[in-house]
Structure 1
């Protein structure tokens, strides 16, 4: 230390750090736009847009991206979107191939991997309207399959469009998937456009709805039972009556397929992903746990490569505990706590520079089913009789 004759102040930065919640509703979209400005929307390159319709004014009117952005903006929120434009092929098979893209060349869906490096954000809601509903050669949709690896590693969810034909076809489509990161919506929606009613994929409308629910209520809320804006109906009528299990809406939900019902507005109806693990079946629980894990992870960059010390361990624990307490107070979590497991944290692991931190937490499940028991009670006739006798006696007194 340098020689000093006098007084100095050294700022010590010990203590818990604030945890900033990661963005929960960044949307990643892959599609076509043949008339787009190629300089602003280069092929197979992630493009970041923030805000409203003015941000995509030079996207052109043709292809799938323009309709998708109309659907997103119809939900009434300013959006953060990572867009990948691909070339429209001569046939749907060619376009599907372009949307899937190449892993090594980072084209199509695989271009989304570059978003974090380019913009510092990664998409958490993935859509490719018009390209996730097909089953080429009666096989699983290749675009959804290509998105799965990204969704698993980047903690994102995929909003996939069902086949938009029959409930039987939707059932067959659903059997291709068993992931808690895939949320299927069937059928498509109708919109009024150019003086006529046309059918559009539902996925972009649902993605925009999720962003709206995140903003207005929080990512721990399910998007189900929320009204979808900007649509006039569904591509086929969906039978629904609250409390009746023998409806198409209930059949689809039982198969873990979300749908859209008409009940005091046109509402998204369905909470469940295609997960084979019952604990992970609810979309809102999956997304909340993702946000918690990513927020805690991102909040500890400051601790990486610091030397082991008691103060450092306490600071990490208190940082996590403080965040879990905050999320619990806000209703995002039911509770949570942190601890160090001595079986994992040995002198061998610490001398190797490896710290293990355990914490638990649980997001609230959506109240998907409410059962009321209506009990007959003829004893109320005794009450009525007593009141009647008293009232008649009063009138005749």
Structure 2
């Protein structure tokens, strides 16, 4: 207490308001690949804010006097170009030697793992099982990002896309080999098939096959900024996509979609669209939709970052009330934005932090426990119109 020495009116400023929880960003990507200039920024995570900056740093060898021309069809360059073209605001790039496996300890994905703001990771064009495993394992371990995975450019038998490729068994070796990444039980990965065709980012008008992960990461960023992370990044155009390496129709997608393979399709009027919003979680999982996985990760990280003030506070009812107030206000804001399902906040979420979640033995152990439940919105993946006919005329029932 201040020491008051003379009569008078004294004003004290006290911090008694809520501590608002700020939503973390979800639009920054991290890419691993071999740059056009193979020696530029080798095994270092470099922040890139536009494609011109990427060219200056990672393709400078082709712009210097007397330097050989840059090779066309570089997957990393095309992915970064597609990311910014589709609305991505910022990314990190790790130039990894072509002969260095993705997942080498202390390299590539480990470098991206130390950067908190990254929410999407990809290794453009890497479709082998070891690369899939490195990306998925990193996303699962960190819990704050999702791996965007490229399927193969083509599949002669789309049934192969429903079976997981096995590490060290890409060639089959007497077994039926698959082409799909393994399941991620909590949905920390999404695979897209087939590749797109577009102008080469370095060679201009030349049309090349481009792995879609960079463009898809840009689509995710664009949806996040326009609608929010709760909006599924699907039924939207891929800017820069002029065609596909393989045409997929409804019959093929009927096989692929239940297996968690997001199909990129070409429509006569709309052009090339992302036509899937699933993760590689099992089909019965609560994490089978990409927007649900990313929304939950955003909520978890936002609460973790903004609630650090709780550490070492007196573990009593006052603290519990403050926790309920702050988290409740954050989730109410998300509900008002349409991210949570329910006619009222009570239907959309709950926050429980009281004597029941914090009995004496928990308090003695130095722990404060809060239970949070959310009802995320899920995409209208199947829109059904039931059309009937009566003597008075046709009737339509929308489901």
Check conservation: 1:163, 1:169, Cα contact below 8 A.
no
For the residues of structure 2 that align with 1:347 and 1:146, how far apart are their CA atoms? 42
For the residues of structure 2 that align with 1:161 and 1:332, how far apart are their CA atoms? 28
Corresponding residue for 2:366? Answer: 353
Alignment match of 1:281 (pick from 271, 278, 288): 288
Q: Is the counterpart of residue 160 in structure 1 residue 149 in structure 2?
A: yes
Alignment match of 1:252 (pick from 231, 247, 256): 256
Check conservation: 2:28, 2:88, Cα contact below 8 A.
no
Q: Is the counterpart of residue 54 in structure 1 residue 64 in structure 2?
A: no
For the residues of structure 2 that align with 1:315 and 1:341, how far apart are their CA atoms? 11
- The TM-score, its normalising length taken from structure 2, stands at 0.82
Cα distance change on mapping 1:2 and 1:236 into 2, 3 Å: closer
Q: CA deviation at 1:37?
A: 7.3
Q: CA deviation at 1:130?
A: 1.3
Corresponding residue for 1:101? Answer: 104
Corresponding residue for 2:238? Answer: 228
**SS of corresponding position for 2:237:** coil
Q: CA deviation at 1:315?
A: 1.2
* Greater C-alpha radius of gyration: 1
Alignment match of 1:199 (pick from 209, 224, 238): 209
For the residues of structure 2 that align with 1:380 and 1:195, how far apart are their CA atoms? 54
Cα distance change on mapping 1:376 and 1:305 into 2, 3 Å: same
Check conservation: 1:14, 1:315, Cα contact below 8 A.
no
For the residues of structure 2 that align with 1:149 and 1:344, how far apart are their CA atoms? 32
**SS of corresponding position for 1:124:** strand
**SS of corresponding position for 1:168:** helix
Cα distance change on mapping 1:192 and 1:309 into 2, 3 Å: same
Task: Write 1 or 2 for the structure with the bigger share of helix.
Answer: 1
Q: CA deviation at 1:36?
A: 6.4
For the residues of structure 1 that align with 2:190 and 2:123, how far apart are their CA atoms? 13
For the residues of structure 1 that align with 2:19 and 2:216, how far apart are their CA atoms? 35
Check conservation: 1:224, 1:271, Cα contact below 8 A.
yes
Q: CA deviation at 1:46?
A: 1.6
Cα distance change on mapping 1:164 and 1:78 into 2, 3 Å: closer
Question: 1:178-189, aligned counterparts within 5 Å?
Answer: 178-179=184-185, 180-189=187-196
Q: Is the counterpart of residue 19 in structure 1 residue 7 in structure 2?
A: no
Check conservation: 2:323, 2:353, Cα contact below 8 A.
no
**SS of corresponding position for 1:125:** strand
Check conservation: 2:181, 2:191, Cα contact below 8 A.
no
**SS of corresponding position for 2:232:** coil
Specify every segment of 5 or more residues in structure 2 that has no aligned partner in the other structure, as ranges. Answer: 60-69, 163-177, 342-347, 395-399
Q: Is the counterpart of residue 127 in structure 1 residue 122 in structure 2?
A: yes
Corresponding residue for 1:261? Answer: 265
Cα distance change on mapping 1:185 and 1:236 into 2, 3 Å: same
Show CA shifts across 1:137-161 (max 9, x none): xxxx111211223212232111111
Cα distance change on mapping 1:312 and 1:343 into 2, 3 Å: closer
Alignment match of 1:362 (pick from 361, 375, 379): 375
Q: CA RMSD in A?
A: 2.1
- The TM-score, its normalising length taken from structure 1, stands at 0.82
Corresponding residue for 2:167? Answer: none
**SS of corresponding position for 1:284:** helix
For the residues of structure 2 that align with 1:367 and 1:294, how far apart are their CA atoms? 26
Show CA shifts across 1:250-270 (max 9, x none): 322122101111222210011
Cα distance change on mapping 1:340 and 1:310 into 2, 3 Å: closer
Q: Is the counterpart of residue 291 in structure 1 residue 298 in structure 2?
A: yes
Corresponding residue for 1:176? Answer: 182
